[in-house]
A and B are shown apart, each in its own frame.
Chain A
Amino acid sequence: METLFFLIISLVAIVSAILVITCKNPINSALSLIMTFFCLATYYVMLDAPFMAAVQVMVYAGAIMVLIVFTIMLLNIRIDASKKHSHKLIFGSIIGFFTLLNVVFVLIRSRAAVPTGPYSGDMIKNIGHTELIGREMFTNFLLPFEITSILLLVAIVGAVILAKKKI
């Protein structure tokens, strides 16, 4: 049953990912991308990471995609079907195929040489995923967390300055 569910979600994710790169209208691409993000959130739930699924829906499908759709509609780009692809379609497909082979080979044949941790599925269910993530983030990863806030500040200032016509 779970395998069937996994296959259905995989099918939807891959078909909507293909629609992202084949749709002529950027709005359709954006909506397909939102569908892919929801499929990925489903994967996170199946992998016992419900907090990641919630963040995926809120940050990616919510914030980032709203920003992208807003920009597409603000610029009001006309669709010209004649110039949809560059002439490198075959070249890009070959590169993509070899990327697929390479990534599959590396991911499946390599041995992950990372020390395994104590977090089992039962522990995540008993204590709660959010609490475990928070505990980890505010102890071992406190410095990267603070650096992230500086990054966000730089991004805000940079976006305002870049989008302004006259500084």
Chain B
Amino acid sequence: MENLNSYLIVSAVLFSIGTIGVLTRKNAIVIFMCIELMLNAVNLTFVAFSRHLGNLDGQIFVFFIMTVAAAEAAVGLALFIAFYNNKESIDVDDANMMKW
């Protein structure tokens, strides 16, 4: 087993890449995938700490995060489909109905 810090660095890099993706991309589905990437980086941190501390609570948390991500995927993609039906676009810049 590698030491804890290398896992944490990989997790931090993945989280930052996800952040850049969320801030720079326009396609809503790609932004959604970047959010999934950030969630997975956090999951890796949880599992690494769980193994390091000898405590299984972190892995149970990962389990719940996966459940919430699945629920989020179902509702989020349904929202995208509803948005596409209204606007014929999936660009986040077109979601400006509440802007004045």
Contact = CB atoms under 8 A, between A and B. Distances in A.
Nearest to A121: B1
Contacts of A137: 60, 63
B37 A33 contact: yes
Interface string A8-46: 001001100110110000100110010011001001101
A154 B72 CA distance: 11
Q: How large is the interface on B (under 10, 10 to 19, 20 to 34, 35 or more residues)?
A: 35 or more
Given A91-B23, A151-B67, A100 B13 contact: yes
Dominant secondary structure of chain A at its interface with chain B: helix
Given A116-B53, A137-B63, A60 B16 contact: no
Dominant secondary structure of chain B at its interface with chain A: helix
Contacts of B73: 64, 67-68
Q: How large is the interface on A (under 10, 10 to 19, 20 to 34, 35 or more residues)?
A: 35 or more
A3 B27 CA distance: 37
A77 B12 contact: no
A88 interface: yes
B90 to A, nearest CB: 5
Pairs of residues from A and B, 4 with the lowest C-beta to C-beta distance, nearest first: A117-B55, A92-B23, A155-B71, A21-B21
